[in-house]
Structure 1
Amino acid sequence: MKVAIVHDWLPFMGGAENVIINMHEAFPEAPIYTSICNRMNMSKTLREADIRTTHLQKTTKKQLDHRKLFPFMPTAMESIDLNKYDVVISSSTSVGKSVITGPDTLHICYCNTPMRYAWEQRGNYIGPLTGKGSFRNKMISYFMTFMRVWDFATAARVDVFVANSVNVARRIHKHYRRDAYVIHCPVRMKMFHTSIEDGGYFLCVSRLQEYKGIELAVKACTREKLPLYVIGTGPMRKELEAMAGPTVKFLGFVPDEELLEYYAKCKALIFPGVEDFGITPLEAQASGRPVIALGKGGILETVIENETGIFFDEPTPESLIDALHRFEKMSFDKEKLRSHAMEFDESVFKERLKRFVEEQYKLFKTRQLSGVTIYK
């Protein structure tokens, strides 16, 4: 069984990229096809992997922002030749699932989410891009209408959908009218450890983008004069720094060995956005630390309220402040937190993924003539 892995793009590391590492470890002989890749921003495992990029990688010597190349992504992904593979596993949050495969190739899409900016979260993404310019607003709106049509059409190229959460499976059914299996995202449990030390700070670990909701944590901790460390980079950093008080520190990119210590010693992870699944809450729990989260989206599948964390109901600083006050009166068991996170360990993910791919390929081979009637 010859396998290939496909991913949207690899400009930096994130939750979806950690999934690719586990896919690569489950199928080490499989090459990884992607639109563009910046190996300098990859973990050692991916830097040494067989990564094959499209012509977009060759358009410039300087690595471009992948978002600026987005209009060219559809044709780039469709140009990838995958005819020699028995199974293609696409990891997709956007264009990954759009690759074209032949009738002898099984295409399994591990969908981290349907394209967020084309569907129900388009306002959170497109609004900051368009600003007040009506012409630009109209042009982007027209383009996204095309992308919705294209995105729906490319869902038909997938033989089997796998969602990273029940939350995403519901979105797949809503937008693509397709059923999906669920295999939860993996957490690299071996990386994380607990600590008896308490650093006395709250923690956010996130890309600093509009939809992540980090401004809620910054405003809440500024008002309450609570120490907050924000780890991550992104286009909102300057705006967030401008609204932050002296108790909020922005640490930017932090190497893994340092990140593990920040997790292990924080009071709690604040998770103020709505995510399809959310890896960082599980990383915090693997470190024996609870989560304070907006009670919407994939977080409902990974945090047990009042056992491994607490929820706040509204995406407002006031609602988060109320949760912070409740949190101060509670206590959490580190071993219970870590034990819960173990259910999402990467070893569980890899075993399930390999078994699932093998089962689906056997079914695919027996159904290749399904729907074919020879008329005599």
Structure 2
Amino acid sequence: MKIALVHDWLPFMGGAERVLTNFFELYPKAPIYTTICNKSKIDGPLREANIITSNLQKKNKEIKNHRKLFPLMMTAIERFNLNEYDVVLSSSSSVAKGVITSPSTMHICYCHSPMRYAWEFSHEYAGKMAGKGSLKGKLLSYFLTGIRLWDNASSDRVDYFIANSQNVAKRIWKHYRRKSVVIHPPVRCNLFNISDIDDEYFLIVSRLQEYKRIDLAIEAFNKLGFPLVIIGDGPDREKLERMAKSNIKFLGRESDEVIKEHYAKCRAFIFPGEEDFGITPLEAMASGRPVIAYRKGGALETVVENKTGVFFDNQNCEDLTKAIEEFESMTFDKYDIRKHAEAFDEAVFKENIKVFIEEKYEEFNKNMESENRDI
């Protein structure tokens, strides 16, 4: 099989890029097609990959704000010529699934999410981007209608969908009316270890964006006075730092070694947002540390209540504060937590992806032969 990988964009490393890394490790000869790539911001095996960018990126010049290019990305992704490949494996939460392939090419999409800003989260995104009731907001609403039409139409170009969670599988069915198989994203368990040192701080590892709800955690820890360490950067950092009291420390972007050490020694990991899946809680659990999470989204598929963590029901300061206070009176077994995380290890993920592709490729070719006989 001659395989190509397709990814929305590569401005920096995140959870979706860790999935792409696993795809590349499975198929190291496969080129990666993407709209833009900031090569200085990617790490690990992807540094050795043959990354082919779209016409949106000139002479490998790095893109500071890739989101401004979004209106052009749908056309850019469609311009890639993938006719020479037997299999296209796309990693998509936006435009990657929209690549055009020949009838003899099997397209499997690993879907991190249908476009969040196009569907049920569109009102939230539009309000934040343009302001509620503004002229700009009304114009954006018309633009999003067109995006939804393209997003739905492009889903028909996919032969088989893989969802990263049951949560996303439901959304794929709702918005695309397509069935999918769930294969959870991988956590690289061998990167994390259990420590005998139990420090007093709670931990967040996250990009500092509004929907991550880091503000909620800051509000709760301002009230409780417990130490909180926040690792990560993003557009909301200055605003969040202004909110925080002295018991809350912002470390910014840190190396894998620093993150690994903080996971291993923290009191617990705080996960206040609603994610389609969310890999950071599993990284904390691979380090033997419990998670305090909002009871919604992907956390419901990774956190086992009272065994690997606790939930809070409503996304407000009072409920999160109550969950933290209840957690303080509980005990957890580090090794049981670690064992649970190992079920999501990247070795399991790679084997599941490999078997799925091989089975579907055989099925796809049989269907092609049958259709050719009927013509």
Q: TM-score range by the shorter chain?
A: over 0.9
Alignment of 1:172-187 (within 5 A): 172-187=172-187
Aligned to 1:117: 117
CA distance in 2, matches of 1:33, 1:153: 21
**Quick one: which amino acid aligns to residue 323 of structure 2?**
A
Aligned to 1:28: 28
Aligned to 1:313: 313
CA distance in 1, matches of 2:85, 2:333: 47
Q: Is 2:138 the counterpart of 1:138?
A: yes
Where 1:116 maps in the other structure, the secondary structure is coil
Work out the number of aligned pairs and report it.
375
**Quick one: which amino acid aligns to residue 315 of structure 2?**
P
CA distance in 1, matches of 2:60, 2:195: 46
CA deviations on 1:279-313 (whole Å, 9 max, x unpaired) are: 00000000000000001011111010000000000
Contact 1:93/1:113 (CA < 8 Å) preserved in 2?
yes
Alpha-carbon offset, residue 61 of structure 1: 3.4
Aligned to 1:333: 333
CA deviations on 1:48-85 (whole Å, 9 max, x unpaired) are: 21111111111883523110100000010000110000
Aligned to 1:72: 72
Distance 1:166 1:62, change over 3 A: closer
CA distance in 2, matches of 1:166, 1:25: 25
Aligned to 1:355: 355
Aligned to 1:149: 149
Range with bigger deviation, 85-94 or 240-249: 240-249
CA distance in 1, matches of 2:328, 2:313: 18
Alignment of 1:129-278 (within 5 A): 129-131=129-131, 134-278=134-278
CA distance in 1, matches of 2:272, 2:370: 47
Contact 1:93/1:112 (CA < 8 Å) preserved in 2?
yes
Where 2:57 maps in the other structure, the secondary structure is helix
CA distance in 1, matches of 2:303, 2:176: 28
Aligned to 1:368: 368
**Quick one: which amino acid aligns to residue 332 of structure 1?**
F
Contact 2:126/2:132 (CA < 8 Å) preserved in 1?
no
CA distance in 1, matches of 2:64, 2:339: 41
Taking only aligned residues, the RMSD between alpha carbons, in angstroms, comes to 1.4
Where structure 1 has 5 or more consecutive residues not aligned to the other structure, the ranges are none
Alpha-carbon offset, residue 236 of structure 1: 0.9
Distance 1:254 1:225, change over 3 A: same
Alpha-carbon offset, residue 127 of structure 1: 1.6
Where 1:69 maps in the other structure, the secondary structure is helix
CA distance in 1, matches of 2:373, 2:19: 40
Where structure 2 has 5 or more consecutive residues not aligned to the other structure, the ranges are none
Where 1:30 maps in the other structure, the secondary structure is coil
CA deviations on 1:236-285 (whole Å, 9 max, x unpaired) are: 11111111111111111010011000100100000001111110000000
Where 1:118 maps in the other structure, the secondary structure is coil
Alpha-carbon offset, residue 129 of structure 1: 1.1
Where 2:67 maps in the other structure, the secondary structure is coil
**Quick one: which amino acid aligns to residue 156 of structure 1?**
D
**Quick one: which amino acid aligns to residue 328 of structure 1?**
E
Contact 2:25/2:45 (CA < 8 Å) preserved in 1?
no
TM-score, normalised via structure 2 length: 0.97
Contact 1:124/1:211 (CA < 8 Å) preserved in 2?
no
Where 1:368 maps in the other structure, the secondary structure is helix
Range with bigger deviation, 307-316 or 40-49: 40-49
CA distance in 2, matches of 1:312, 1:270: 11
Where 2:84 maps in the other structure, the secondary structure is coil
**Quick one: which amino acid aligns to residue 128 of structure 2?**
P
CA deviations on 1:155-192 (whole Å, 9 max, x unpaired) are: 00000000011111011000100000111100011100
Identical columns (%): 58
CA distance in 1, matches of 2:53, 2:82: 13
Alpha-carbon offset, residue 123 of structure 1: 2.7
CA distance in 2, matches of 1:101, 1:368: 14
CA distance in 1, matches of 2:137, 2:278: 30
Alpha-carbon offset, residue 354 of structure 1: 0.8
Q: Is 2:68 the counterpart of 1:50?
A: no
CA distance in 1, matches of 2:132, 2:150: 27
Contact 1:290/1:309 (CA < 8 Å) preserved in 2?
yes
Range with bigger deviation, 133-142 or 185-194: 133-142
